[in-house]
Amino acid sequence: MKTLRTFRLVCLLAPLSSLALAQTPSITAGGVVNAASFAAGQAIAAGSLVSIFGTNLAPSTQAAQSIPLPTSMNGVSVTFNGVAAPLHFVAQRQINAQVPWEVLPAGTQSGTASVVVTVNGVASAPLSVPVGPVSPGIFTVEFGVGKAIVINQDGSLAQPSGSISGVATHPAMPGDILAILGTGLGAVTPPAVTGNNSLDTLRTNTTTPTVLIGGVQAQVQFSGLSPQFVGVNQINVVVPAGAPSGSAVSLQIQEGGITTTPLVTMAVTGGTGGQVPSTYQDLYTQLQNYLNTFSTTLQWNGQKTGTLFSADVYPAYSGSAGILNPGYYDAAVTPYLNSLQALGVKAVKVAIGFPILYQPFHTTYQTNNPNAYQQYLSFYQRLVADVHNRGMKFIAHCQIVHTGGAINILPYYNSLTWTQYIAGRSAQIQTVAQQLKPDYIAIQTEPDTEATNSGKSQVYTTAGYQQLLSTILSDLRTAGLHTMPITAGIGTWIPNWQAMTEVLTGLSDLDMVDLHIYPINTVGGTNYLNVAMQVADMAHAAGKKVSMTECWLYKVRDSELSQGFTSNQIYSRDVYSFWAPLDQQFLQLMAELGWAKQLEFVSPYAARYFNAYLDYNQVTASGCGTDHHTCTAADLDSLANQALSQALQGPQFTSTGLYYQNLIK
């Protein structure tokens, strides 16, 4: 435990600066926060550790060397309601201190504290801070999020093996007993002495918190003060059998109406949520072998370039049912954007399919709602503004509305000649560029899929593809609308990928060549992941940038590839939580591909699984049949959407969502 103690104190006490004192100390508004979670706006608790942020808080950095902790150090002192606070360390812009147990009058659980920092006799203006009975937070390797300080029985951290330099780590397993280090869990019995630790006796919290591992409640064996540290709580828990497996499983504390962030994580292996059913074991192994092989082939040098990491805004797809219903945006889109923003996503990709923003479609074909065009336009204008207000980029993905969805679109496609079809596609893209002003615009990315859905087989020929793209690009240039980077591309699975890539690289007005990556299989000696690298190299050789508007791990066996790459029954496999480790490995490789090939952006498609998966066994129990054969793709999609809707209320994240958050930050 000595090694862990040194490690934790380094993280906890690391100062932000050691510049010389020049002026009167000042505490930043909202700058007194839980020292573990750094949660803004959360009340502090008596006996807990807090970080105080501001300016001129100390003449230089100094850390406490003994216990009891001093109340004056390097000319610095801090008071809470006039009571001197024990100091862990002081620095020019940050102080870590313990909130005195006596901060509120005896018998009082809630109130306010007036915090004052005094440096060499000069006092700061007081800052009023709310005080509550509890203020839970979990210590992490970083600051407030990421890998938790959760200790296995052998003294290692319950994190992926080798994930923290110089510290022993390995995942926990169901049934393991772990010690979680946090602060702010409230009163203890017997009472504690301010500034001292609890070596004389164990002090137990008067209220036992709830601990969730991957959203599953864990048995709490002990919750109280750590015998080793001042102001630090220790919670001993048993990893529940139902915990999901993963390298970034959320670890949360619930107490006093507060739930800590799901962005604090640990590693779990062998959980029931991660057991691969025998039905899919062969497929799982096959995909894992492909990923492992590509990891060796890719040979990324470890240098991160400026790749922008995005995610698909699933509820805003133009073919979604109910998208124009009153309240849909607030109920479905806003929570989704909140979730992506919490994960640190810097861009979003939105599919705006033809002919949703093509006015002649609504005036000559969709006669049941003459206002539909303006309603769709207003919806997407609101969405772009919302995304930009959140500081994120907007990628407009201008494909077509797929057949077989909520809109019966095929008769309209059949009514158009090839010339009319091109004109309509071009007109809608001009509308997107002019009315929405996205940061990037993708004008076509899967010629084979578009040909299948539209019935326009010309799209999937080199001549037809060149005609479609060159017309759109020429029209944009003529209208003065080529004001943002334009990309177009292919799915890496098409047999004529090289010829189609040559079409793309030959278009002078095209800025980027785009990749869609789904199957990772090898067919006829050609591996689809290797094709992605070759397409990127061809684009760069032609002086063009590369983007990736869609990618996700397609769960298909080599023997099933003849079903095509749009099989809903195969897509429906994505819903199960046992895929999480492979989804995470795939995302890691897509990020590394982005960095290695200097992609402009990478946008995972099935981002709804950042929030919720379905447990395979629970789906069986819910009535889809003992072997799942009676659970249709539509059934699974509906169940997945229900789970997503519930998870977004938190928001709550799966281990895959948290893995992506840690990957891209």
Average pLDDT, the chain: 90
Residue 318 has a pLDDT of 87
Distance (Å, whole) CA 532 – CA 517: 8
Taking only the tens place, the pLDDT of each residue in 214-225 is 888 899 999 999
Whether 190 contacts 203, CB under 8 Å: yes
Residue 564 has a pLDDT of 65
Whether 521 contacts 528, CB under 8 Å: yes
Residue 619 has a pLDDT of 79
- The helix/strand/coil state of 227 is coil
Write down the domain spans for the chain.
2-133, 302-613+654-664
CATH number of 2-133: 2.60.40.10
Residue type, 533: M
37-58 CB burial, b ≥16 within 10 A, e <16: bbbeebbbbbbbbbbbbbbbbb
Query: Is 50 exceeded by the pLDDT of residue 412?
Result: yes
Whether 399 contacts 407, CB under 8 Å: no
| More confident: 561 or 130 | 130
Query: Is 60 exceeded by the pLDDT of residue 282?
Result: yes
pLDDT band for position 622 (cuts 50, 70, 90): low
Q: What architecture does CATH give domain 302-613+654-664?
A: Alpha-Beta Barrel (3.20)
206 burial class (0-12, 13-18, 19+ CB within 10 angstroms)? middle
For residue 651, cis peptide bond before it (omega within 30 degrees of 0): yes
Distance (Å, whole) CA 493 – CA 500: 12
pLDDT band for position 17 (cuts 50, 70, 90): very low
Query: Is 70 exceeded by the pLDDT of residue 366?
Result: no
Taking only the tens place, the pLDDT of each residue in 167-191 is 999 999 988 999 999 999 999 999 9
For residue 604, cis peptide bond before it (omega within 30 degrees of 0): no
* Percentage of the residues of the chain whose pLDDT score is greater than 90: 71
Question: How does DSSP classify residue 100?
Answer: P
Largest CA distance in the chain: 86
Classify the C-alpha dihedral 253-254-257-263 as positive or negative.
positive
* Percentage of the residues of the chain whose pLDDT score is greater than 70: 93
